[in-house]
Amino acid sequence: MSSMFFKESLHANYCQTFEIEKVLYESKTEHQHLIIFQNQYFGRVMALDGIIQTTEKDEFIYHEMLTHTPILSHGEVQKVLIVGGGDGGILREVAKHTTLTEITMVEIDQDVVLLSKEFLPNHSQGAFEDQRLNLLIDDAYRFISNCQDKFDVIIADTTDPMGPGEILFSESFYAHCHRCLNDRGILVTQNGVCFFQKDEMVQTANRFKPLFKEVAFYSAAVPTYVGGVMVFGWGAQATMLNLTLQTLNQRYKHANLETKYYNPSIHLASFALPNYVLDV
């Protein structure tokens, strides 16, 4: 029997390839093509429209950094909005913060949620049953455009800026997020791997600057997202990046978190970016 391979289609002239041990699910949802397959090294892998979204092996890096960095920076978060994140990984990490009172999650594709529960249960680890969760199957842009609620942290766990995810990188989307943040609120976004997707980072920076008092980027190296460091956008309504290691250590200890990548030292270090990223 010949081997099957999945070739990622994110870049026109460069790709990574995964050997498929077994296809667990493949279909066209209402919004996108979805495949979940088994790989010997990365475990279960999910791809949308030909682009790898998450794997069992390394998902914790992305999900921990996109979640705990803003929540522990803020220090008094009660209400969180998750945009996207249908696999449940961000939700799992957010739900670890027992002081939160409300978690709102808006995912456009119900099939992503249902299939992730079935085939990627280690991502959510039961977090979809959290009593604080208000899960909405809706277009996130439509939701945020009409939202009158306020949040302490908004986490945009979106696909790349193409297809249904493209509008979630727009000026108007960020403006609506800004409007829906409390006075000390923080918006964080995934902005791809800067080595290949520098325009995505530059565009986000330019769109954040008129809105937020504090604009920055931080990074993490996620093996699945090849090409160097992945960057996350940071827009805050107040100055949040002057925390000491001692303060972060206290907050981390008080939160009683169990993490595999994130820790307070990594938190502070992640905002130090290499020159090739700063130069763009």
Contact between residue 255 and residue 72 where contact means Cβ atoms under 8 Å apart: yes
CB atoms within 10 A of CB 205: 17
Cα 109 from Cα 27, distance rounded (Å): 13
Per the annotation, the verdict on 49 as an active-site residue is: no
Cβ neighbors of 179 (< 8 A, separation 6 or more) are: none
Compute φ and ψ for 187, nearest 5 degrees.
-110, 130
Q: How far is CA 20 from CA 17, 40, 186, 221, in A?
A: 9, 8, 39, 24
In the set 87, 109, 157, 160, the catalytic residue is: 157
Helix (H, G, I), strand (E, B) or coil at 75: coil
Q: What Rg, from alpha-carbon coordinates, does the chain have? A: 18
User: What is the 3-class SS of 245-262, one letter each residue?
Assistant: HHHHHHHHHHHCCCCCCC
Contact between residue 5 and residue 52 where contact means Cβ atoms under 8 Å apart: no
Cα 24 from Cα 237, distance rounded (Å): 43
Cα 21 from Cα 211, distance rounded (Å): 47
Q: Hey, which residues are catalytic here?
A: 157
